[in-house]
With several copies, the nearest count.
Chain A
Amino acid sequence: MARMSMIEAIRSAMEVSMARDEKVVVFGEDVGYFGGVFRCTQGLQQKYGVSRCFDTPINESGIVGTAIGMAAYGLRPCIEIQFADYMYPAYDQIVSEAARIRYRSSGQFTCPMVIRMPTGGGIFGGQTHSQSPEALFTHVAGLKTVVPSNPHDAKGLLIASIEDPDPVIFLEPKRLYNGPFDGRPDRPVTSWSQHPLGEVPEGHFALPLGEAVVRRPGRAVTVLAYGTMVHVALCAAEEAEIDAEVIDLRTLLPLDLETIVASVKKTRRCVVVHEATLTSGFGAELVSLVQEECFWHLEAPILRVAGYDTPYPHAQEWDYFPGPRRVAEALVETMEA
């Protein structure tokens, strides 16, 4: 075991994968010589050469499009989109191509690739460095969508994603890169070196996609969260002094519905939290599934706490961010319903 930040864990996952399988190639904007604007790929070019880790022109459709061609050839590209906010120019290649190549060719061609992208706000990045577009991927048949909440999971899930036979969208909550952010910007930042999940196996280890984990067992209400919101939810539960069961989904698709349903059937209440805008967010899917599966057990409406339906503002970031106060309010509201 070693102590790693989330950046180091992600880098370690790529390093391990590149060492084990020479088909793994890594590329993206500023990813090669410089090692990425968040330094996630630092050192990989030096270690594995420019043919396996390289800089690209600034064209996200080209990055994903060439990666699809490489995957069809037989490589396993693990590519970086500099910010999730910049994936839109690649959306056609992701949705119409990567997601469908196995299906439309009846398995003649496949598309094992990982598209990494930093998501979420909390760094005063304004509307184009803060978005959480996961629902735009979960709606697309043929994609898998993963969102880790800590260094340990980030490494295990990224290795599993690279080894997966299908395209995986790997969303990295950038507010967690350096520490387990609980949604209180007024408090001193803690670092992963203080956190048990900053302890990460050094070598190869894979966490299966599609398994959620209970971060905090509880009996009063189930909170479904992923990424940064896991820590916010934990903080809210403490502050509201509510015995919430906090589930970290880790993979949105495939989803670990079993764990969710078991918990809600036990607690009989549910709150769903995400940072993306509310309307048609992934929370809506969670609410739908929970009410379909647990209708007869529910004692209160399932509540959603999410980003407001506005672009992510710059100066009002902390008014916008669904922090512990808003989550706690929802917990209380659910308990009182």
Chain B
Amino acid sequence: MNEQTAASLSFHVPEPEVRPGEQPDFSHVQIPRAGSVPRPPVDVDPSEIRQLAYSIIRVLNRDGEAVGPWAGTLTQGELLEGLRHMMRLRAFDARMLTAQRQGKTSFYMQHMGEEAVSCAFRRALEPGDMNFPTYRQAGLLIAGDYPMVEMMNQIFSNEADPLKGRQLPVLYSAKDYGFFSLSGNLATQFPQAVGWAMASAISGDSRIAVAWIGDGSTAESDFHAGLVFASTYRAPVVLNIVNNQWAISTFQGIARGGSGTFAARGLGFGIPALRVDGNDYLAVHAVAKWAVERARRNLGPTLIEHVTYRVGAHSTSDDPSAYRPKAESDAWPLGDPVIRLKNHLIKLGAWSEERQKQAEAEIRDEVISAQREAESHGTMHSGGRPSPRDMFEGVYETMPPHLRRQRQKAGF
């Protein structure tokens, strides 16, 4: 019945281009020229912009100039502030990594190389909008002026920890700053964000939700759940994929499979999908603004893939030298977001290497003084811990009898 002979099948497992000891190689990553991708009107028919899921929107060119139709969404003052946000996040990370090594906290996760994504996106939001982030979007807090000392209190699980020591370090929650309680379980926030957005629409509100997920976590089923509901109810939500090329030890090909891009996952749902240079502060902001406006104007969800690179280890429990070449991050073709924005501002004549140095020193001081304050409330392995009594509180609004009995027996 079938002409083909019964040749043996064979099993295919995607492999990264290179492994430790080999020469980093990103020649397979296609990067369009800055300014070359068109900017459609926000009410465009999604089926007309499918190609945006296969390109990369970029604003900053090699010479540090902002070019093309996506340029011009931020003033110079805003850009200077943006640079400062990214620098602050980077300095914060550096201090906390050291604090972890010193045993002041059990765990930390850094953002090195990805600072532009959350910092620039944050600027496109209004007060009242709600992010449903992953652990790698602390830039939303920094750029939203959440006090660093509060972040440190959480990281140190000290007596001033707003989460009372209950959560793993970096699993922040900051409702008033539009930052939803972080989960340790990947992808669960995706349908939650969509639900929050649906609730806003149901309530005739004007606030929107923003969902965040990593490249590896798009494989999780809740990514699908989020897309299905967002598509069906045209929820006012922006769905962000941060493709930093790695998911702990697995390269993005394991999650992406035969697909062209992660953004393309949105096309099957009729959701407009854009890819953006995640190391380009201006491009991220422009795309965020476009998507936020769609949501706010009741035009429905947008999916954004932020193309970036995880320069550091996955977390303080990880050592990437076991699975990728050490110098890979240097070879990453989209460069460093801080340096790129700095160069742009210098090009504009609004900044200089000296002012950069000076700002770095200021920011370091700022972070150090915040740390000093936080440490005065205790660190993980010093005194000043949340009380064990707290452990029993807040499981329910009112403590049920069985928990009361348990606390009593525990003697707390």
Q: Is A34 in contact with B392, judged by CB distance below 8 angstroms?
A: no
Q: Mark A218-232, 1 if CB is under 8 A from B, else 0.
A: 000000000000000
Task: Report the nearest A residue to B386, measured CB to CB.
Answer: A315
Task: Report the nearest A residue to B396, measured CB to CB.
Answer: A166
Interface-located stretch among A3-11, A68-76, A151-159, A236-244: A68-76
B249 in contact (CB, < 8 A): yes
Instruction: Say which residue of A69, A85, A105 sits within 8 Å of B132 (CB atoms).
Output: A69
Chain A neighbourhood of B198, CB < 8 A: 66, 69-70
Q: Is B232 in contact with A314, judged by CB distance below 8 angstroms?
A: no
Q: Given A66-B195, A105-B173, A109-B173, does the pair A97, B188 have CB atoms closer than 8 Å?
A: yes
Chain B neighbourhood of A88, CB < 8 A: 185
B229 in contact (CB, < 8 A): yes
B322 in contact (CB, < 8 A): yes
Q: Given A33-B323, A257-B402, does the pair A69, B194 have CB atoms closer than 8 Å?
A: yes
Q: Is B394 in contact with A96, judged by CB distance below 8 angstroms?
A: no
Q: Is A55 in contact with B250, judged by CB distance below 8 angstroms?
A: yes
Q: Is B11 in contact with A51, judged by CB distance below 8 angstroms?
A: yes
A128-B250 Cα distance, complex, nearest whole Å: 21
A30 in contact (CB, < 8 A): yes
Q: Is A66 in contact with B194, judged by CB distance below 8 angstroms?
A: yes
Chain A neighbourhood of B301, CB < 8 A: none
Q: Is A278 in contact with B406, judged by CB distance below 8 angstroms?
A: yes
CB-contacts of B283-321 with A (<8 A): 317-318
A226-B392 Cα distance, complex, nearest whole Å: 25
Q: Is A55 in contact with B402, judged by CB distance below 8 angstroms?
A: no
Q: How far is the CB of A69 from chain B (nearest CB, A)?
A: 3
Q: Mark A297-337, 1 if CB is under 8 A from B, else 0.
A: 00000000000111101111001100000000000000000
A146 in contact (CB, < 8 A): no
Task: Report the nearest A residue to B401, measured CB to CB.
Answer: A254
Interface-located stretch among B46-54, B68-76, B175-183, B334-342: B175-183
A32 in contact (CB, < 8 A): yes
Instruction: Say which residue of B217, B395, B410 sits within 8 Å of A102 (CB atoms).
Output: B395
Q: Given A55-B250, A75-B202, A106-B394, does the pair A126, B191 have CB atoms closer than 8 Å?
A: no
Task: Report the nearest A residue to B19, measured CB to CB.
Answer: A33
A25-B323 Cα distance, complex, nearest whole Å: 21
A63-B255 Cα distance, complex, nearest whole Å: 13
Q: Is B202 in contact with A68, judged by CB distance below 8 angstroms?
A: no
Chain A neighbourhood of B217, CB < 8 A: 58
Q: Given A104-B163, A105-B173, A308-B410, does the pair A73, B200 have CB atoms closer than 8 Å?
A: yes
B87 in contact (CB, < 8 A): no
Interface-located stretch among B21-29, B35-43, B91-99, B218-226: B218-226
A210 in contact (CB, < 8 A): yes
Q: Is A108 in contact with B195, judged by CB distance below 8 angstroms?
A: no
Instruction: Say which residue of A66, A107, A257, A308 sits within 8 Å of B403 (CB atoms).
Output: A308
Q: Given A75-B199, A314-B167, does the pair A103, B322 have CB atoms closer than 8 Å?
A: no
Q: How far is the CB of A121 from chain B (nearest CB, A)?
A: 12
Q: Is A315 in contact with B161, judged by CB distance below 8 angstroms?
A: yes
Q: Is A108 in contact with B181, judged by CB distance below 8 angstroms?
A: yes
CB-contacts of A42-62 with B (<8 A): 50-52, 54-59, 61-62
B107 in contact (CB, < 8 A): yes
Q: Is B228 in contact with A57, judged by CB distance below 8 angstroms?
A: yes
B174 in contact (CB, < 8 A): yes
Q: Is A108 in contact with B406, judged by CB distance below 8 angstroms?
A: no
Q: Is B397 in contact with A108, judged by CB distance below 8 angstroms?
A: no
Q: Given A75-B202, A126-B171, A310-B403, does the pair A103, B395 have CB atoms closer than 8 Å?
A: yes
Q: Is B168 in contact with A62, judged by CB distance below 8 angstroms?
A: no
Instruction: Say which residue of B166, B175, B229, B387 sits within 8 Å of A66 (CB atoms).
Output: B229
Q: Is B400 in contact with A89, judged by CB distance below 8 angstroms?
A: no
Q: Is A66 in contact with B192, judged by CB distance below 8 angstroms?
A: yes
Instruction: Say which residue of A69, A105, A279 sits within 8 Å of B191 (CB atoms).
Output: A69
Task: Report the nearest B residue to A32, measured CB to CB.
Answer: B13
Chain B neighbourhood of A310, CB < 8 A: 391-392, 395, 403
Interface residue tally of chain B, by bracket? 35 or more
Q: Is B188 in contact with A92, judged by CB distance below 8 angstroms?
A: yes
Q: Is B202 in contact with A65, judged by CB distance below 8 angstroms?
A: no
A190 in contact (CB, < 8 A): no
Q: Is B317 in contact with A37, judged by CB distance below 8 angstroms?
A: yes
Chain B neighbourhood of A141, CB < 8 A: 395
Q: Is B228 in contact with A62, judged by CB distance below 8 angstroms?
A: yes
Q: Is A104 in contact with B173, judged by CB distance below 8 angstroms?
A: yes
A101 in contact (CB, < 8 A): yes
Q: How far is the CB of B121 from chain A (nearest CB, A)?
A: 19
B196 in contact (CB, < 8 A): yes
Chain B neighbourhood of A34, CB < 8 A: 248-250, 322-323
Task: Report the nearest A residue to B235, measured CB to CB.
Answer: A66
A281 in contact (CB, < 8 A): no
Q: Mark B368-389, 1 if CB is under 8 A from A, else 0.
A: 0000000000001000011110
Chain A neighbourhood of B19, CB < 8 A: 33
Chain B neighbourhood of A165, CB < 8 A: 396-398
A70-B394 Cα distance, complex, nearest whole Å: 20
A6-B289 Cα distance, complex, nearest whole Å: 50
A78 in contact (CB, < 8 A): no
Q: Is B395 in contact with A62, judged by CB distance below 8 angstroms?
A: no
Q: Is A30 in contact with B248, judged by CB distance below 8 angstroms?
A: yes
Q: Is B402 in contact with A59, judged by CB distance below 8 angstroms?
A: no
Q: Is B180 in contact with A102, judged by CB distance below 8 angstroms?
A: no
29 A-B pairs (CB sep. < 8 Å): A25-B199, A34-B250, A55-B13, A57-B216, A58-B247, A59-B219, A59-B221, A62-B219, A65-B191, A65-B195, A66-B198, A69-B132, A69-B193, A70-B198, A72-B130, A89-B221, A89-B222, A97-B185, A104-B183, A105-B163, A108-B173, A126-B168, A166-B396, A278-B406, A309-B406, A314-B167, A315-B166, A315-B385, A316-B387
B: which residues have CB within 8 A of A? Answer: 11, 13, 15, 19, 106-107, 130, 132, 157, 161-169, 171, 173-175, 180-181, 183-186, 188, 190-203, 209, 216-217, 219-222, 224-226, 228-229, 232, 247-250, 254-255, 257, 317-318, 322-323, 380, 385-388, 390-392, 394-398, 400-403, 406-407, 410, 412
Closest 7 CB pairs of A and B: A69-B195, A128-B184, A315-B165, A65-B191, A66-B195, A126-B168, A57-B219
